[in-house]
Amino acid sequence: MPVNTHVREPRRPPFDAEAARRHREALGMTPAHVAYGMAAAYGLRVPPATVAAWEAGESAPTDAELTALAGALWCAPGELLEAPGTLREYRLAQGLAADDLARRIGMDRRAYERLEDGGKWTGNDRQAAALGEVLQLPSAALVRFTGRDEKLTELLTSAVTTRWQAYVRPVGKLVAVPRERIQEVLQELHGEYQAGMAGTLNWGGGGGAGEAGEAGRAFLARILAEFWERIER
């Protein structure tokens, strides 16, 4: 009976090859110097050719190799990564192991690892705040990783379709954004939604309420993205 000898390829972080090359050249090092530094300080033996391949974009380091490479180049791991998008990538950017991060935010390690693998957030508000602080997460990322996107979308939908003033406080409980900024954005979104609905009804020709409904649904479908875009702007 054949034996399955397939070994799953380790996940590679979003490596910034050009940044690695710049850091090495700024230190006056060669790929061989970098490889020696990784072996001496971290016990990771990597051929100089592998370091050169990373810089050429032909391959990327593993999590452990990234940490060792950053140490050899005297920089933070995040300086060798492209913009993080996943929770794991934000963690790697801070140079933290999963168990270290779980301990710092007061969460069970297995529960945190399940979260990185796409599981649901099971922590409390204090742990969510600690996660955002330790990983220096943007507000939008923190809301997404802690499973509050759906709730925020519901609040934003109600805010633009009814009285936006009543939703400033509930939205503020979900997002780490100054109250004044939330007020500005909710008022702006509410005004655009209501104006768009009225404009479609008044000038929609034969479409009438049908066109208004379609325009309204299209606006609401992108309400979360619009909210964060305006908050960050």
Residue 35 exposed, middle or buried by CB count within 10 Å (0-12, 13-18, 19+): buried
Provide the β-strand partners of residue 172: none
Measure the CA–CA gap between 183 and 170, rounded to whole angstroms: 12
| Polymer length of the chain | 233
Structure tokens at 162: 């009814």
Q: What's the one-letter identity of residue 151?
A: K
Measure the CA–CA gap between 227 and 160, rounded to whole angstroms: 11
Average pLDDT over the chain reads 89
Provide the β-strand partners of residue 15: 81
Mean per-residue pLDDT for 150-154? 97
Measure the CA–CA gap between 118 and 49, rounded to whole angstroms: 35
- In tens, the pLDDT along 121-130 reads 999 999 999 9
Within 8 A by CB and 6+ apart from 2, the residues are none
For tokens 């140079």, the residue is 95
CA angle 219, 221, 225 (to 5 degrees): 90
Cβ atoms within 10 Å, residue 205: 7
- E strands of the chain, at which residues? none
- In tens, the pLDDT along 18-27 reads 999 999 999 9
What's the pLDDT at 212?
A: 59
Helix (H, G, I), strand (E, B) or coil at 196: helix
Cβ atoms within 10 Å, residue 47: 11
What's the pLDDT at 166?
A: 97
- In tens, the pLDDT along 157-214 reads 999 999 999 999 999 999 989 999 999 999 999 999 998 887 655 544 445 455 557 8
In this structure, are residues 152 and 220 in contact, taking their beta carbons and an 8 Å threshold? no
What's the pLDDT at 211?
A: 57
Q: How confident is the model at residue 156 (pLDDT cuts 50, 70, 90)?
A: very high
pLDDT at 31 over 50: yes
Measure the CA–CA gap between 117 and 152, rounded to whole angstroms: 23
Measure the CA–CA gap between 121 and 114, rounded to whole angstroms: 9
What's the pLDDT at 203?
A: 47
Q: Which pTM was predicted?
A: 0.77
In this structure, are residues 80 and 70 in contact, taking their beta carbons and an 8 Å threshold? yes
